Amino acid sequence: TVLLPHLGASTAEAEDAAASMAASTIRSFLETGTIRNSVNFPSTSLPNCPDHSIRFTVVTRNVPGMLAHISEVFGHAQLNILQQINQSKGNVAYNVVDVDTSGHGVVDFKDVQEKITMLDGVLSSRVIYGVPGTGYAKNLEGDYFV
């Protein structure tokens, strides 16, 4: 199921433009993790993912120490953070993190993602790779849901 925003357009041209904008916004989110024009999430965008890297997105409660805990998981997995952004809106924070995969053999991203997702204060995470819209995980009151 894909939920689309209320468009509020009153002419055929406005409806087409609004629908095109909504589709472009959703596509950008699925492919890059970029958030634009959201009511309850902060606008967030990183440049393109560098070569030999994987992009993670992490939704957290907006509380002190969350970035440190997330960074610690990447450090324990010997993954270097190439670039990241953290934006908050109210009590929600959204993080986009690109980690370097060069020089690594096989990296168990599922294990890294599970450790991040199960951190206290993390609501959900996503590893952006392959088919857009896949790689989502959620912390459901202490249970890991993929």
Task: In whole angstroms, give the CA distance from residue 69 to residue 76.
Answer: 11
pLDDT in tens, 6-50: 556 567 787 777 788 888 888 888 888 888 888 888 888 888 888
Backbone Cα Rg of the chain: 16
Give all strands (DSSP E) within the chain, no chain letters.
53-61, 81-89, 92-100, 122-128, 136-140, 143-145
Average pLDDT over residues 99-127: 90
pLDDT in tens, 57-101: 999 999 999 999 999 999 999 999 999 999 999 999 999 999 998
pLDDT confidence band for 2 (50 / 70 / 90): low
Contact yes or no for 115/73 (Cβ under 8 A): yes
Residues 6+ apart with CB under 8 A from 100: 50, 52, 53, 79, 80, 81, 82
pLDDT in tens, 129-144: 877 778 888 888 888 8
Does residue 22 or residue 3 have the better pLDDT? 22
Q: What is the pLDDT of residue 6?
A: 59
Q: What is the pLDDT of residue 8?
A: 60
Reported pTM: 0.82
Q: What is the pLDDT of residue 24?
A: 85
Contact yes or no for 98/46 (Cβ under 8 A): yes
Tokens 């993390």 belong to which residue? Answer: 122
